[in-house]
Amino acid sequence: MIGYERQGRIVLITLEGEGDLNLGAVGPELHERLAEYRDDDELWCAVITGAGERAFSAGANLKGSRAGFNATPWDTRVLDMLTGAEFWKPLVAAINGYCLGAGMMLALGCDIRIATESASFGLPELRYGFPPGMGSTYRITRAIPLGAAMEMLLTGDRIPAEDAFRLGLVNRVVPGDKLIPEAMAVAERIVANPPLAVRASKELALRGLEMPFDEHYRLQTVMSYMCRQTEDAKEGASAFAEKRKPEFKGR
């Protein structure tokens, strides 16, 4: 069961899995909900958190279903937010407690990460005989310094929230009772901006990681030009001139 609570332009998505560790929460139902958010023109930002206080998600239940663990390189890849589908709407992870395995993979796929003081992070799959998946070995080396990423990958060790903050894995660490208010406040600041420009900025930033500067500059010029033709860009300029709050519509 994945919670899906709309709050104006924001949706709060809550991971609810097996037990108080939210095992198995990162699966088909979550990706269906993420696709629902992606395709809803009325929603401009999502906050993802874990049910309860003990875990965001501690990953898959290795004692339970082994579905997906025996995939071969020749199987057709099912595209979702973590495995290569385009996803340009913003995602804020509000991380409470254990963020391990698939939970960590999901957090790495989010754009902004806020954690509680009790949160801990790790990719322990190596200890069970296989490397972590869902693009995590790609994303972690771009999220934190290479040496720290390699230590996490090759030892399977967990790191506490304070180390995650020091390495830049999370944007900030807050007390448990401040987690959702802080994440929602960040989401509110995001949705105060024109959504097409937000998505263009995310796409440019992520594509730019793998592009030569000249190619990226060209793409930036094209996308900036496209955004400047939108109704929202005209509204932003008018609101600035008239000294009023803009009313963006995503058009």
Q: Is the pLDDT of residue 68 over 70?
A: no
- Please report whether residue 210 resides in a domain: yes
Residues 34 and 46 in one domain: yes
Asked whether residue 71 carries a pLDDT value surpassing 80, the answer given is no
29 and 142 both lie in a single domain: yes
CA count, 13 A, side-chain hemisphere, 84: 5
What CA–CA distance (Å, rounded) separates 139 from 168?
13
Q: Is 248 within the bounds of a domain?
A: no
For residue 231, what are the domain limits?
195-242
3-state secondary structure of 104: helix
Number of domains in the chain: 2
Pair 99, 203 in one domain: no
Whether residue 78 is found in the same domain as residue 119: yes
Q: Decide: pTM greater than 0.85.
A: yes
Asked whether residue 14 is assigned to any structural domain, the reply reads yes
Residue with more model confidence, 74 or 7:
7
What percentage of residues in the chain have a pLDDT greater than 90?
Answer: 90
Calculate the CA dihedral of residues 146, 174, 49, 129 and round it to 10 degrees. Answer: 40
70, pLDDT greater than 80 = no
CATH number at residue 97: 3.90.226.10
Percentage of the chain lying above the pLDDT 70 cut: 97
Give the model's pLDDT for residue 77.
81
Is the residue at 250 inside a domain? no
CATH of the domain at 224: 1.10.12.10
pLDDT of residue 78: 84
Asked whether 114 and 93 are in contact (CB, 8 A), the reply is: yes
